Amino acid sequence: MTSAPVAIGPAERPRPLVQPNHGVRYARHAKHCIAPGALVIYDRRSERLGTARWSPRAGVPTNRGSRLVSATVLILNGPNLNLLGRREPAVYGRETLDAIVGRCRTRGAALGLTVDVRQSNHEGDLVDWIQQAGPEVGGIIINAAAYTHTSVAIPDALRAVGLPVIEVHLSNVHAREAFRHHSFISPVADGVIVGLGPQGYDLALEAMARLIQEAKTLAAASPPPG
């Protein structure tokens, strides 16, 4: 018998899947974090951001059309992160997930963002939440935990919805076991933050706020769909 998924934050009604002709899409040029120490890698290229609408005929994005870019950030946490504070505190620290949720909401509010934080031990829940990220979501911050190193479905879902993504890890995964050095998430992420503990979420929100603001600026300057 499996436990029920844990949703943190206000309950949300089911949302339709994002269709290819909805929303702002982003080209992916993220790089892996390969430094031996705790680093913040934030790779931003001007061509990544842009308003785009899929051409029904050609099946490719164009630079015509725009939408309102949401200031809501979805923060997803993977397996065992519900045990923060008592699970290997020497590695993950003593701050609980509830405390991290609180700091994310506080930092998000200061940045003008609405923060929706969720956690599940089940891969399918994470995939469902990503797929349900409709136009009211401006970006996704994800700590997929162990699924970072095993899941193909999660990055496939992230790629499909086309939202900006920032990957976060509390510990410096590159200083740990070899299997933790590879991330299936990094190739579809706009940035990767590792080894800075709960502060990594703060930094991810700051970076996401900038990505969202840039997307809003580009959307406002984009010619209307014709």
Q: Which residues are catalytic?
A: 92, 169
Q: How many CB atoms lie within 10 A of CB 2?
A: 6
Give the integer Cα–Cα distance in Å for 162 and 139: 9
Spell out the SS3 assignment of the chain: CCCCCEECCCCCCCCCCCCCCCCCCCCCCCCCCCCCCCCEEECCCCCCCCCCEECCCCCCEECCCCCCCCCEEEEEECCCHHHCCCCCHHHHCCCCHHHHHHHHHHHHHHCCCEEEEEECCCHHHHHHHHHCCCCCCCEEEEECHHHHHCCCHHHHHHHHHCCCEEEEECCCHHHCCHHHHCCCCHHHCCEEEECCCCHHHHHHHHHHHHHHHHHHHHHHHCCCCC
Give the integer Cα–Cα distance in Å for 220 and 208: 18
